Amino acid sequence: QLVESGGGLVQAGASLTLSCAASGFFLNHFSTGWFRQAPGKGREGISCITSEGNYTSYVDAVKGRFTISRDLVKNAVNLEMNNVKSEDTGVYYCATVRQLHYATGQTRCLLDALDTWGQGTQVTVSS
C-alpha cells in the first residue's frame, strides 16, 4: 500500500514537500514515480527515481523546481516542490513504476506505472 501526504493550499512561489509512504513492502525495491492529475485533465507522470536512488527523471514542466528523493528510514519517496505555479494544481499520486536494467549495470526508471498506486493528495496553488 502507498499513502501520499503533504498536500495543501499554497500561494504561487511557495514550497511544499509531498511524501509517499509504503507499507507491506520495501519501496526501495522498486522504481517509484510521482504523477498528477489537473482538474479536467488526464493523469501525467512528472518524476521518477530508481530503486537505488541513483537515477532520477523529471518532465520539463517541473525540471529545476521539483526534487524527488528516497527516505529509507521512513520507507518513503518524497517530492520537494519549490516555486510552485498555478499550473501545478492537481491531485498528486505516487506509484511503483517500471525500471530498466542495462548490460552496463545502469538502471533507469520510466513513468510507466505498475499496479500499486496511492490514493492521492491534493495540491492547490493560488496565484
Q: Which residues contact 67 (CB under 8 A, 6 or more apart)?
A: 56, 79, 80, 82
Residue pointed to by grid coordinates 517541473: 62
pLDDT at 40: 95
**Going residue by residue through the chain (127 aa), what tens digit of pLDDT does each one get?**
999 999 999 999 999 999 999 999 999 999 999 999 999 999 999 999 999 999 999 999 999 999 999 999 999 999 999 999 999 999 999 999 999 999 999 999 999 989 888 899 999 999 8
pLDDT for 77: 98
Q: 23: closest CA among 101, 94, 100?
A: 94
pLDDT for position 35: 98
pLDDT of residue 96: 95
Sorted by sequence, the CB contacts under 8 Å of residue 103 that are 6+ apart come out as none
What is the structure's pLDDT at 72?
A: 96
Residue 115 is predicted with a pLDDT of 80
Q: How far apart are CA 113 and CA 57, in angstroms?
A: 14
Strands (E), the chain: 2-5, 8-11, 16-22, 31-37, 43-49, 56-58, 66-71, 76-81, 90-101, 107-117, 121-126
Q: What is the reported pLDDT for 28?
A: 93
The residue behind cell 501545478 is 88
